Amino acid sequence: MKQFRQNFSALLLALLLLVQPALVAAEKDDGTQTLFRTGFIQHAIFNSDPRDARAVLEVHSREISRQIGESLNIKVILFPEMDAMTNALRKGELELAAMPSVDFLRLRKTVPLIPSFVGKNSKGPGISYVVITRKDGGFRSFSDLKGKTIMIPAVTKYESSQIWLEVLFMRTEKGGYDNFFSHIKETPKLANAIMGVFFRQADAALVTRTGFNTSCELNPQLAAQLTILAESPNLSDAVVCLIPGTSEKFRTKIYNAMLQLNETKSGKQIYTIFQTNGITPFKEEYLDGLENLIGEHKRLKAKLAARK
Q: Check whether residue 227 and residue 242 sit in a common domain.
A: no
Q: Check whether residue 97 and residue 246 sit in a common domain.
A: yes
Q: Considering the domain boundaries, does residue 306 fall inside one?
A: no
Q: Check whether residue 180 and residue 37 sit in a common domain.
A: no
Q: Check whether residue 203 and residue 269 sit in a common domain.
A: no
Amino acid identity, position 67: Q
Residue ending a domain, among 232, 264, 280, is 232
Q: Considering the domain boundaries, does residue 4 fall inside one?
A: no
Q: Considering the domain boundaries, does residue 302 fall inside one?
A: no
Tell me how far apart the alpha carbons of residues 66 and 64 are, in angstroms, rounded to a whole number. Answer: 5
Q: Considering the domain boundaries, does residue 112 fall inside one?
A: yes
Q: Check whether residue 116 and residue 241 sit in a common domain.
A: yes
Burial of 190 (0-12, 13-18, 19+ CB in 10 A): buried
Q: Check whether residue 272 and residue 141 sit in a common domain.
A: no
Instruction: Count CB atoms within 10 A of the CB of residue 220.
Output: 9
Residue ending a domain, among 215, 232, 249, is 232
CA distances (Å), origin 88, targets 40, 85, 94, 115, 199: 11, 5, 7, 17, 45
Q: Considering the domain boundaries, does residue 3 fall inside one?
A: no
| Dihedral (CA of 60, 40, 121, 55) sign | positive
How large is the angle between the packed helices 10-18 and 50-68, nearest 10 degrees?
20
Domain count, the chain: 2
The CATH number for 109's domain is 3.40.190.10
Q: Check whether residue 198 and residue 250 sit in a common domain.
A: no
Q: What is the pLDDT of residue 218?
A: 93
Q: What is the pLDDT of residue 267?
A: 64
Q: Check whether residue 67 and residue 18 sit in a common domain.
A: yes
Q: Check whether residue 118 and residue 240 sit in a common domain.
A: yes
Q: Considering the domain boundaries, does residue 301 fall inside one?
A: no
pLDDT in tens, the chain (308 residues): 433 344 444 455 554 544 444 334 444 444 555 566 778 787 665 555 666 765 665 565 555 445 545 565 667 778 888 999 999 999 988 878 889 899 999 999 999 999 988 877 767 788 899 999 999 999 999 999 999 999 998 776 778 999 999 999 888 866 666 678 999 999 878 899 999 999 999 999 999 998 899 899 999 999 999 999 999 999 998 898 888 877 676 667 666 766 776 676 666 666 655 556 677 889 999 999 999 999 999 999 898 888 76
Q: Check whether residue 116 and residue 22 sit in a common domain.
A: yes
Q: Check whether residue 137 and residue 117 sit in a common domain.
A: no
Q: Considering the domain boundaries, does residue 275 fall inside one?
A: yes
Q: Check whether residue 140 and residue 59 sit in a common domain.
A: no
Residue ending a domain, among 192, 211, 232, is 232
Q: What is the pLDDT of residue 171?
A: 86
Q: Considering the domain boundaries, does residue 254 fall inside one?
A: yes
- Per the structure, the complete domain to which residue 199 belongs is given by 129-232
